[in-house]
Amino acid sequence: MALATAAITAALSSLSLRPPLHRGGLCLKPLCATLLPSSSSFRARTLPKLAATADIDTSFFDNVDPNDDIPFDPPAPPEGYVAPPSFDELPPESEEEVAAAYEEIYGAAYSGESVLGNDIYVMDGKVKKSSGLLGRKKRDRPNDGFEERVVQVRRVTKVVKGGKKLSFRAIVVVGDKKGQVGVGVGKAKEVVDAIAKSAGNARRNIVSVPMTKYLTFPHRCDGDYGAAKVMLRPASPGTGVIAGGAVRIVLEMAGVENALGKQLGSKNALNNARATVAAVQRMRQFRDVARERGIPMEELWQ
């Protein structure tokens, strides 16, 4: 074996690109053919592949120049075909569709009105009792007699050095429906955490709402916060709470059953809720005014 390897190496080293030279009547070409006896069998194994490629019809490319500009000619569409609209031309999603999508993911609607018919007082209905997404546990509400109502949940962004930082802002109103109410706001990366933070902030800002025995306001009053202005008026028994948006939620959580409310300025939910709180803080009971003046209550209307 060593002698055959040495002979093949010597023969290959003597090859060159020039035509074979006859030295003493000996040609190198027959020598190479004798040294590689398996080349015939190798060529025999490659013949079927060459025969297979010869069956492919390539006459289509004979008259095609790859450097020419070939126009694109797509086939004609069938009859009655209507092209689908582009995503830029689709109509914008309505508020009902957005509310239904959020309610499907996180639970009941955050405005206090369910679009899919769920319980509006169960905000964590979609969260598992044992553990939620990414191992988060269900939030335990404090048993302090206050009820929570989510006014609004929005996704907000903060531009930082590396890009945009997404988070959720929640507005929550808490109240015992006995004259105590508070408005809070909180931000977090998750909706449940944002609601928990805003509920805690609302409990730290509890105010008292003066009411008569008919569960209405003692007198009319206006309140403003920022660009929002709210008008509150007392109502007779049986009227109900005639107000909308955040004003209605604040009055219901305070326990007011007969009142009129109107938003006169901005439609911002947070500013209107705080303007309602500012309005009820300006109200005073008749007995408190009479006590400060040092006169009986009957003399207030004289």
Report pLDDT digits (tens) over 14-43: 555 455 544 444 444 544 444 444 544 444
Question: pLDDT tens for residues 54-66?
Answer: 677 777 677 778 7
Query: CA separation (Å) from 247 to 160, 164, 240, 243, 268?
Result: 35, 33, 13, 6, 11
Name residue, tokens 């060529």.
43
**Predicted confidence (pLDDT) at residue 230 exceeds the cutoff of 70:** yes
* Cβ contacts of 203 within 8 Å, gap of 6 or more: 142, 144, 146, 174, 182, 184
Contact between 171 and 151 under an 8 Å Cβ cutoff? The reply is yes
**Predicted confidence (pLDDT) at residue 46 exceeds the cutoff of 50:** no
Tokens matching residue 274: 């705080």
* Cβ contacts of 120 within 8 Å, gap of 6 or more: 108, 109, 112, 113, 114
Tokens matching residue 291: 């006590």
Please, what is the average pLDDT of the chain? 79
Where along the chain do its domains lie? 140-287
Contact between 138 and 193 under an 8 Å Cβ cutoff? The reply is no
Res 1: pLDDT: 56
Question: pLDDT tens for residues 266-278?
Answer: 999 999 999 999 9
Name residue, tokens 């109103």.
173
Confidence bin at 12 (pLDDT 50/70/90): low
Q: What are the respective helix, strand and coil percentages of the chain, to the nearest 5?
A: 35, 20, 45
Res 142: pLDDT: 76
**Predicted confidence (pLDDT) at residue 128 exceeds the cutoff of 70:** no
What average pLDDT does range 80-103 have in this prediction? 79
Res 35: pLDDT: 47
Domain 140-287 classification at class level: alpha beta
Res 28: pLDDT: 47
Q: Which residue has the higher pLDDT, 247 or 91?
A: 247
**Predicted confidence (pLDDT) at residue 135 exceeds the cutoff of 50:** no
Q: Which residue has the higher pLDDT, 302 or 147?
A: 147
Rounded distance, CA 66 to CA 84, Å?
A: 34
What average pLDDT does range 104-112 have in this prediction? 62
SS (H, E, C) 119-180: CCCCCCCCCCCCCCHHHCCCCCCCCCCCEEEEEEEEEEEEEECCEEEEEEEEEEEEECCCCE
Rounded distance, CA 246 to CA 278, Å?
A: 13
Res 10: pLDDT: 60
Q: Which residue has the higher pLDDT, 122 or 210?
A: 210
Q: Which residue has the higher pLDDT, 212 or 26?
A: 212
This prediction's pTM: 0.54
